[in-house]
Amino acid sequence: MKLLAVLSVFLSLGLLSFAPPVSEAPTGFDNKSNGLVDDATHTTDQNTFEEVEHLTDGLGPLYNAQSCRECHQNPTTGGSSQVSELRVGHKDAHGVFQNPEVPINHGAEIIKGRSLINDRAICPSGAFPSSEIQEHVPGTETIRTFRVSLNVLGDGFVEALSDQTLLDLAKDQCRKSQGKICGQALYVPIVEAPGKTAVGRFGWKDQHASLLSFSADAYLNEMGITNRLQPDEVTNICNTATEPNDTPGADGLSDIDHFARFMRASEAPARDVTLSAAAEAKQGETLFGKVGCAACHVATLTTAAAGTVINGGNFTIPPALGDKSFHPYGDFLLHDVGTGDGIVQATVEHYGRKIAAHPDLMISTFPKFHSTANKIRTAPLWGVRLHSRLMHDGASTTLTDAIRRHRGEAAHVTDEFERLKPAEKKALLAFLLSL
């Protein structure tokens, strides 16, 4: 009787809960698995991510690089890099963003439906000496930007955040800042689950919520490799390989499945142990919170419980990714901090022709995309100490320059930063250099 009474008091105080305990996500740049698969499987997946594709594999016709690792490599496979990509477009008479129209092959074909301009092409070549398909920016495409490559390490934890966590975060920061800072959560299609959407969290524009969707998008648009989720070549001029280029291996998995599993099983970026233990960095972290950086660059997030089904029913969060707290220093929401590039997510490019063309398959979310033209996802600051070029366009070369470019929603926070004493600014930068 007494025991029951004590127990009920504990229960009513919420001291006993049956939710599984939250643990820390593993970190490191040592190419080990976070526990999703064994290390040997992780190495196999990493090898696929590092594989160099050739003409016979279906490379191109238009492409940017031959391997995922070419752009995701610093300090190890899956990290970021200095490699940037070109995106362009223009506004129509109503001020609405339009994708570019890019003539290739002496004007014989017009590339539409994407904002990306590919930097490389497989012809002219010995087999196709007169096919001239290199893309160039037409003078009429007056909106132009570069976007640097992003880190993918630890992205399995980001994928495992529930939509509700991101929605709550947006609401909370808006309330706490009296409406000054209100991140936008954007619903985007899950390409492997036509008709289903989730809150976007990957890419500078939050264009994807699923790592499998992103893998398919990148394989086609970065490397020109068609796959089951992105089966249509951007152009067929000088194309000779059989379609789709990416087919399942003996284990039933295609390359895009290996890419997604590689990223899901990666450890989160690790902090610099020595620098983060220093008193100056600790003082800097306090100031980072005090001046308001942490409103968007959120230190700690927690993934949904293991067993939660996400990605439109296509992925069940495994124990290695569920109930994990991690430290991205980001909110994965879109903000206008005055750096917006004016570009709206291209639906054909990111989600494929089938989804983009069918109103019954989530096109209802597409009009909202236009409200994001001048917004950028908060750059997660984990691993920022390893970046040489900062901000989406890579145009800032020092941390101070990057901070000073924050206006718009962050203007009042930047002003607070400027009001810090020199030693305090130095401490805040020391903190950033420990991340």
Smallest gap from Cβ 264 to ligand HEC, in A, equals 10
Among 143, 181, 281, 427, binds ligand HEC (CB under 6 A): 181
Cα dihedral sign, 63-66-68-69: negative
According to the binding rule CB under 6 A, does residue 409 interact with ligand HEC? yes
According to the binding rule CB under 6 A, does residue 378 interact with ligand HEC? yes
CA gap 202, 228 in Å, rounded: 20
CA gap 243, 353 in Å, rounded: 16
CB of 202 within 8 A of CB of 216? no
Smallest gap from Cβ 52 to ligand HEC, in A, equals 11
CB of 427 within 8 A of CB of 420? no
Matching residue, tokens 């599993």: 261
Residue 161 CB contacts under 8 Å (≥ 6 apart), including other chains: 201, 301, 302, 303, 304, 332
Among 25, 337, 373, 430, binds ligand HEC (CB under 6 A): 337
- Count how many residues are written for the chain: 435
According to the binding rule CB under 6 A, does residue 379 interact with ligand HEC? yes
Size of residue set near ligand HEC by CB under 6 A: 56
CB-facing half-sphere around the CA of 183: CA atoms within 13 A? 31
According to the binding rule CB under 6 A, does residue 366 interact with ligand HEC? no
Smallest gap from Cβ 22 to ligand HEC, in A, equals 22
Hey, which residues between 216 and 235 contact ligand HEC (CB under 6 A)? 218-219, 222-223
Burial class (CB in 10 A: 0-12, 13-18, 19+), 38: exposed
Phi, psi of 130 (to 5 degrees): -110, 10
* Alpha-carbon distances of 204 from 297, 375, 378, 390, rounded to whole Å: 15, 9, 8, 12
According to the binding rule CB under 6 A, does residue 264 interact with ligand HEC? no
Of 18-26, 128-136, 227-235, 373-381: span binding ligand HEC (CB under 6 A): 373-381
According to the binding rule CB under 6 A, does residue 356 interact with ligand HEC? no
Amino acid identity of residue 29, one-letter, is F
Give the residue with the Cβ less far from ligand HEC, 126 or 337.
337
According to the binding rule CB under 6 A, does residue 45 interact with ligand HEC? no
Smallest gap from Cβ 7 to ligand HEC, in A, equals 45
According to the binding rule CB under 6 A, does residue 293 interact with ligand HEC? yes
Give the residue with the Cβ less far from ligand HEC, 26 or 340.
340
Query: Helix, strand, or coil here: 260?
Result: helix
According to the binding rule CB under 6 A, does residue 402 interact with ligand HEC? yes
The CA-CA-CA angle for residues 249, 250, 251, to 5°, reads: 90
Which residues make up the interface to ligand HEC (CB under 6 A)? Answer: 64-65, 68, 70-72, 83, 85, 147-150, 152, 155, 181, 202-205, 211, 214-215, 218-219, 222-223, 259, 263, 291-293, 295-297, 335, 337, 339, 376, 378-379, 381, 384, 387, 390-392, 399, 402-403, 406, 409-410, 413-414, 417, 432
